[in-house]
Amino acid sequence: MIRRNFRHDRSCCRLLAATFFLASGLLSTTAAHAQSNLSLYGVIDSGVEYLNHANNGSGSTVRMATLSSSVPSRLGFRGSESLGNGLDVVFTLENGFAPDQGGQLQGGRLFGRQSTLGLRSAWGQVDIGRQWTTTFRAMLDSDVIGPSAFSLASLDNYLPNSRLDNSLSYFGTFGGLTIGGVYSLGRDGAAAGNCGGEQGNIACGGWAVLIKYNAAKWGFAGSYEEIRGGPGSQSITVIPGAPGLAFTRSGDKDQRYHLNGYIKLNQIKIAGGLLYRNIDADTRDLHTNIVYLGASVPVQNLTFDSQVSYMDNPSFDSNPLLVVLRAGYAFSKRSTGYISLGYIHNSGSGPAYSLSGSSMAIPAPNPGQSQFGTLVGLRHMF
């Protein structure tokens, strides 16, 4: 689980402001240079959530969402330059921030969501830097709720945060077929002692592969991802909010196998998938299984999303069933209001899962106790 730091960092704020004004200046000059372009984009998404049976079942809580309401808030810069003969230099810099506090996410990184530089041609794209793994890429079409509150992140909070530092990737799309992979020399260098960054061997590394196919009315995707432990590595999270597993040996593995698909029936999208996770840790090995099925139905300016997910976690005797409903109303192409309803039923004697399992402070119920929540928010894209 990635640590996040919300301390006010003046130097990072000044650097971000300078980057913003530099990008603004560059945007005004791109018209004179047809071979290059630069775009500024972003999302700010904020809401208020209510959860019952919070804080070990002691009562309810009302609070603003920090990490994600319907999607994570971000500010990004994306650009390219043509080198001729169909070859482009491309880059992406994307900052993640918490709209309720204004702080930076992803361990306090300035561009913690993405920081890549690469080359693109008809044969695909090669990037280096901090970037998404194949787990996130594989779920883009099948997870109708997405990286929001009351999502699959409540069952596995790595899913919306599956990125690798110090990584090299290749992805190519040929017709409807996309193939690719990512290899990291040091998967997480945010905090001193967190697996030691790049160690020059398999310790603290990671790699992942992807294959997906998209047609006009259907598609499927499959991915495999593996990250390794190492000296000083943070513990591996199995149940959000509960103590994790020691992961300090280079031979320790955290593996995720994912298979999903979707179909479109007129405007209705139905999608689902299977996610198998295997962990070989210092003191014990275990596995979990997640199955999910959802649907998205647009009706003029309204969009209705629903998803049912179930996790089998026999090693901890914790087996949550998660049901989410969301309705969004588009005031314009850029601004949307929404309301989400979530219910999680915990069975078993182990630690309970929370509806808000991907948040900074996880308001978990007692073992075997269910939880209900609502979230009302507003999203603006620019």
User: Residue 6 pLDDT more than 70?
Assistant: no
Q: CA–CA separation, 223 vs 260, rounded Å?
A: 9
Q: CA–CA separation, 222 vs 296, rounded Å?
A: 21
Q: Which residue has the higher pLDDT, 120 or 315?
A: 120
User: Residue 22 pLDDT more than 90?
Assistant: no
At 12 the pLDDT is 46
At 191 the pLDDT is 62
Q: Which residue has the higher pLDDT, 80 or 188?
A: 80
Please state, rounded to an integer, the average pLDDT across all residues of the chain: 89
Mean pLDDT score, 279-289: 94
Domains of the chain by start residue, with CATH = 47-381 (2.40.160.10)
Contact status, residue 138 vs residue 261, Cβ threshold 8 Å: no
Tens-digit pLDDT profile for residues 83-118: 999 999 999 999 999 999 999 999 889 999 999 999
At 199 the pLDDT is 78
Q: Is 257 helix (H, G, I), strand (E, B) or coil?
A: strand
Nearest to 221 by CA among 138, 136, 162, 137: 138
Mean pLDDT score, 206-232: 96
User: Residue 153 pLDDT more than 60?
Assistant: yes
Q: CA–CA separation, 189 vs 198, rounded Å?
A: 8
Residue 20 is inside which H or E element, if any? helix 10-29
Q: CA–CA separation, 253 vs 307, rounded Å?
A: 30
Q: CA–CA separation, 41 vs 215, rounded Å?
A: 28
Q: Is 25 helix (H, G, I), strand (E, B) or coil?
A: helix
Could you please report the per-residue DSSP string of 337-373?
EEEEEEEEEEESSSPPP-TTTTSSS-----TT--EEE
360 contacts: CB under 8 Å, gap ≥ 6: 4, 6, 66, 67
> 370 φ, ψ to 5°?
-85, 170
Pairing of strands 114-121, 87-96: antiparallel
Pairing of strands 59-64, 218-228: unpaired
At 13 the pLDDT is 43
- How distant, in Å, are the alpha carbons of 98, 107, 173 from that of 246? 29, 20, 38
Nearest to 380 by CA among 46, 21, 67, 20: 46
Length of the chain: 382
Mean pLDDT score, 257-271: 97
At 18 the pLDDT is 46
Phi-psi sector, 262: left (phi>0), alpha (psi -120 to 50), beta: beta
Which range of 52-61, 230-239, 300-309 scores highest in mean pLDDT? It is 300-309
User: Residue 20 pLDDT more than 70?
Assistant: no
Q: Is 59 helix (H, G, I), strand (E, B) or coil?
A: strand
**pLDDT above 70 covers what percent of the chain?**
89
Q: Would the pTM of this model clear 0.95, i.e. be above it? A: no
Q: Which residue has the higher pLDDT, 155 or 6?
A: 155
Contact status, residue 226 vs residue 253, Cβ threshold 8 Å: yes
Neighbours of 220 (CB within 10 A): 18
Lowest mean pLDDT among 20-24, 45-49, 164-168, 257-261: 20-24
